[in-house]
Amino acid sequence: MAEGGLHSRFRLAREIAEEASSFLLSHESLRLSTRTKAENDYVTEADRAVEGMIRQSIGRAFPGDPVYGEEFGGDTGGRSRWIIDPIDGTVNFMTSFPDYTVSIAYEDEHGLAFGVVAVPRQHEVFSAFRGEGAFLNGSQIHTDESGDTSRTLALLVPPHRHHEMLDGYIVRMRRFYEIISDVRSIGSAALSLCYVACGRASMYYETALHIYDCAAGIVIVREAGGMVTLLSDDEAWLDIAASSAAAHRKMLETIDG
Ligand code: 2AM
Ligand code: CA
């Protein structure tokens, strides 16, 4: 696709993310309409409503574009597709914890082309287009490349849906304490990636994610100067390590032990 076509999709993605953000802020009461999809895996009326809105807007502007989303599935591996998560951090939304996001990405034959992550409660929108840098509310952002991780945060999220994997993760988590100041666990993969992108944390490590949780955030980290390694390549089970470029080797060594 010509760059013009991609840029108009990027513009649309930013508009949609803002609309979805306003909708979620004014419909937070929908958090009470929760259903359980699987153990520790929930969906609210808001997840479905927002995915419907996003699909409608894409369909109106670009009929025929394949869309892959968490709630309604769709195209999983074509050459070009939208990858959307209407609410990343559903448990946060459900419990009124403020860290939930709307995540919209686009992938073409060269890989991930752009990503937009809106954070309704913080009135923040992160976005990045391949080769053009990463932005937070219009200002360019960069990873923390100071190289000294001892005063920075690592975002570590134990595998809460796979308790059999907890022990191994906690051993790795213990090693992280040797190289960083402290640990946080946000509960939205998209937001965790954005926090690495803008230097609020220097590392993020989580396992067993889906591509829609992290596609937009991956572009944003890379365009902010950081590095992302996918430690597994199954898009329904992604183990992800993201950090500043300066800290990436140290991070991978810490995971490997
Ligand atoms: P979600 O809120 O869209 O479900 C929190 O650790 C991260 O894990 C969030 O990005 C969350 O996305 C994701 N997550 C929650 N349940 C999941 C599941 N069953 N499979 C994969 N990722 C999930
Ligand atoms: Ca979701």
User: Could you report the per-residue pLDDT of 227-252, keeping only the tens digit for each?
Assistant: 999 999 898 899 999 999 999 999 99
Q: Which is the closest atom of ligand 1 to the Cα of 190?
A: 10
User: pLDDT tens, 121-153?
Assistant: 999 999 999 999 999 999 999 999 998 999 999
* Look-up of token digits 């992108």: 197
Q: Which residues contact 90 (CB under 8 A, 6 or more apart)?
A: 42, 43, 44, 47, 100
- Helix 3-26 crosses helix 45-61 at what angle (to 10 degrees)? 150
Nearest ligand, CA 190: 1
Whole-number percent of the chain with pLDDT over 70? 99
Q: Which is the closest atom of ligand 1 to the Cα of 208?
A: 21
How many A from CA of 146 to the centre of ligand 2?
33
Query: Which one, of 14, 223, 30, lies nearest residue 131 by Cα?
Result: 223
What superfamily in CATH does domain 3-141 come from? Fructose-1,6-Bisphosphatase, subunit A, domain 1 (3.30.540.10)
How many A from CA of 89 to the centre of ligand 2?
6
Q: Residue 35: which region, alpha, beta or left (left: phi > 0; alpha: psi -120 to 50)?
A: beta
- For CATH 3.30.540.10, list the domain ranges present in the chain: 3-141
Query: Which one, of 137, 251, 131, lies nearest residue 202 by Cα?
Result: 251
Choice from 191, 213, 235 to test ligand 1 binding pocket (greatest atom count within 8 A of CB): 213
- For CATH 3.40.190.80, list the domain ranges present in the chain: 149-256
Q: Which residue ranges have their beta carbon within 6 Å of ligand 1? A: 41, 70, 85, 88-90, 157, 161, 187-189, 206, 208-210, 213
Residues 46 and 34: their CA atoms lie apart, in Å, by 9
Q: Which is the closest atom of ligand 1 to the Cα of 206?
A: 6
pLDDT tier at 35 (50, 70, 90 boundaries)? confident
Residue ID of nearest Cα to ligand 1 atom 21: 209
First CA to last CA distance, the chain: 43
pLDDT at 115 over 80: yes
What average pLDDT does this structure show over 81-107?
Answer: 97
Top-tier CATH class for 149-256: alpha beta
Query: Would you say 110 and 182 are in contact if contact means Cβ atoms under 8 Å apart?
Result: no
pLDDT tier at 1 (50, 70, 90 boundaries)? confident
Q: How many angstroms from the chain centroid is the CA of residue 93?
A: 15
Query: Which one, of 171, 153, 157, lies nearest residue 207 by Cα?
Result: 157
* Look-up of token digits 């183990």: 239
